Amino acid sequence: MSAVYGCVQLGDRPVVTETLRAMEAGLHHWHADDRDIWHRGRAGLGHLMLYNTPESLQEKLPLHNAPAGLTITADARIDNRDEIIHRLDCDRTAARHFPDSTLILMLYERFGADCVHYLAGDFAFAVWDEKKQLLFCARDQMGVKPFFYYHDRHLFAFATEQKGILALPEANRDIDEGYLYSLLFPQHDYSDTETLYRHIKRLAPAHTLTVDVAANRLHIRRYWTLDVEKRAHHSRAADYIEELRHHFEIAVQCRLRSHYPIAAELSGGLDSSSIVGVACASGWADRLITLSNVIAPGTTDETLLRTSERPFIDDVIRFHGIRNPVFITENIWDDPLEEADFVLKLNDGPQAWEGLWQVPAREAARRRQVRTVLSGFPGDQLVTNKGWHDYVIARENTSLIRYLRDSRNYEDLNRRLWSLMPYSIEYGYRKARNLFGHFRKDPAAAFVIPLKYRLRHGDNRWSHPYFRERFQSYRHFLRAALIKPRVGLRMEGESRCGLYFGHEPRFPMADIRLAQYYLSIPDTLKVAGSMSRETFRKAARSYLPDSVYFRDSKAGNLAPFRSEQDAVRKQQEAAHQIAASLTGNGILKLRKKSSDPGRLSILRWLQQKAAAPATL
């Protein structure tokens, strides 16, 4: 995980060193292994290096290819290197040592903007094409690597974090009030392009962006999606399971490419336990560090004790003979305001994904010089989807009467009825509910939100074409679940947080080859069996102890030490005090006396803005 940045002047002014150094200073809040800038004429690129893969030790960015007139800066880990080397038809012995960014630049030189069609992995990069006076930018298919950009009449700038753009004096810092208010809803209205700042945007996952300097025009296009029409064909169910195991093993093994220690999150669930199993079987059993959030010694809370994941975690550790388990039992901050200030600094203001429960594990990884952390997310969204929405399969294959008659309870019947509704009626109902909630003092809403923002709530989800198509088939439903904005935003958020702590999160369950294969197997296999996720269970059977394999539910807390009564009380008290202060100053209105501690960082930001000379 490295940091990239750069800018293009859209007038006649050249990019100067001072501009790039200002961006670098904004981004260099962690200890980079190397850093450099390149600029010529109206374009400039920069890079902050975090060494990780063996090839990266020889990497020097930005990389300039003078004969081709191409320069690249990249934060990239490419997982199909052999395929690319074969496609480029270059010397395999020499190419085996090429950094990933070099392979990307060679692909761009050969295929231009179509180079992204040949890439598998996590990447965000920009290529300045001096001959065409174009800046070509791309982001990986699942949105793991961050990419923010800014555009006005005179300037295009991009960076791994908004800090790099905010460091530019000429950048407009106007707040997007709609985005801010959306964070105050009980359920965030996630957007994969918007940010807190009206003029700073995200490049959405699986998209490219081309800046035509002469015309001062941006062209953004989607280059990939999961293919819902593709089918895998085998004569036996066992063959599907075997191939699923193969794709899963590859997804984990290609993410073990590191010159430094590797850690893996281990929660006791099916996803993380399976990933740890493959890593251990691939030669990392003696070296792998597992990171587990568990209840603190002396805990008396009966709920936490009853739902403890520790027995399952211990079984996985014994099963694989793991020698380096790490158990995290306490938060980093005792003061919730210090914690809120940290997340605001990390995210450059309030963001939809905070992930504070992961921070103690990130710090534990940094202390052990880890530069790769394997995560089990987002298995539940596709590859190990629990099959709760199997009624969509029935909707395709049974009569209407049987489809409704087979509902298991009232809640299931309600879901089945909604799946039959035309999209226009369903969307209209949600809009009407937004309007009605504004006037009836919705008890679920802690804050008074202006009507124009309440009416827009949910549009990012409801207007997305994949969401609109979700009931066409079970494959459409799963694609919508995996590619919805909150999935990519969580992985992006974890990547930015990982950079702060000097490591790269990697997500085997987000491997596009694994996801595509799982989507293509028969739908009946995805919901078959007496246990949930049985097809994947069978694929991962050899990597799981019996206690995890036969476990059909997981009720444990992801970070139990954050749910202890004293920690919750401190959060509630801090949130209530800030909210009461903001209400008294007329900055914010509350529906009820209490305030959601999950919005503490937003309240803290509003408090800080109110104290600043220029208020919101």
For 556-591, the DSSP string reads --SSGGGSSHHHHHHHHHHHHHHHHHHHHTTS--BS
Residue 363 to residue 381: CA distance in whole angstroms: 27
Nearest to 358, CA basis, from 368, 366, 350: 366
Q: Buried b vs exposed e over 168-185: b needs ≥16 C-beta within 10 Å?
A: beebeeeebebbbbbbbb
Inter-residue contact 513 to 121 (CB < 8 Å): no
Inter-residue contact 14 to 222 (CB < 8 Å): no
Helix (H) or strand (E) holding 217: strand 217-222
**CB-side neighbour CA atoms (13 Å) of 331:** 22
pLDDT score recorded for residue 278:
98
Other beta carbons within 10 Å of 335: 10
Residue 165 to residue 448: CA distance in whole angstroms: 32
- Enter the tokens of residue 95: 């190419």
Residues of the chain with CATH 3.60.20.10: 3-222
Residue identified by tokens 């209530």 is 576
Residues of the chain with CATH 3.40.50.620: 237-385+482-561
| Largest Cα–Cα separation, the chain | 70
Inter-residue contact 344 to 306 (CB < 8 Å): no
Residue 97 to residue 54: CA distance in whole angstroms: 8
What is the C-alpha end-to-end distance of the chain, expressed in Å? 34
Using CA atoms in the order 360, 362, 367, 372, what is the torsion angle rounded to 10 degrees?
A: 160
Residue 446 to residue 480: CA distance in whole angstroms: 29
Alpha helices in 348-397 (DSSP H): 359-367, 391-397
Handedness of CA 511, 516, 522, 526 (dihedral sign): positive
Residue 195 to residue 543: CA distance in whole angstroms: 41
pLDDT score recorded for residue 614:
46
Helix (H) or strand (E) holding 186: none
Sequence-ordered list of residues with C-beta below 8 angstroms from that of 6, at least 6 positions apart, any chain:
20, 23, 43, 44, 45, 46, 73, 126, 128, 135, 157, 158, 159
Residue 309 to residue 329: CA distance in whole angstroms: 13
Burial of 432 (0-12, 13-18, 19+ CB in 10 A): exposed
Inter-residue contact 134 to 212 (CB < 8 Å): yes
Residue 195 to residue 201: CA distance in whole angstroms: 6
pLDDT score recorded for residue 184:
87
Burial of 22 (0-12, 13-18, 19+ CB in 10 A): middle
Helix (H) or strand (E) holding 181: helix 177-182
pLDDT score recorded for residue 587:
85
Q: At what angle do helices 310-320 and 270-279 cross, to 10 degrees?
A: 20
Amino acid letter at 237? A
Q: Which CATH architecture has domain 237-385+482-561?
A: 3-Layer(aba) Sandwich (3.40)
> CATH homologous superfamily of domain 3-222?
Aminohydrolase, N-terminal nucleophile (Ntn) domain (3.60.20.10)
Amino acid letter at 439? F
Inter-residue contact 103 to 56 (CB < 8 Å): no
For the chain, list residues with pLDDT below 70.
Answer: 437-445, 592-595, 613-616
